[in-house]
Amino acid sequence: HRVAGWLLVPYLAWVTYALVLNASIWRMN
């Protein structure tokens, strides 16, 4: 399932980016 793998890469990248963004905002408050 190579297509599923290629769809998973940007999904994981987005989840990681969102978690880092939320963590930085949480620390500022």
Residues 1-29: pLDDT tens digits?
788 889 999 999 999 999 999 999 999 98
- pLDDT value, residue 5: 87
Which DSSP symbol is given to 1?
-
Q: What is the pLDDT, as a whole number, of residue 2?
A: 87
Angle at 4 between CA 11 and CA 12, to 5 degrees: 20
CA distance 25 to 16: 14
Q: Residue 11's domain spans which residues?
A: 1-29
DSSP annotation of 29 reads: -
pTM exceeding the 0.95 threshold for the entire prediction = no
Number of domains in the chain: 1
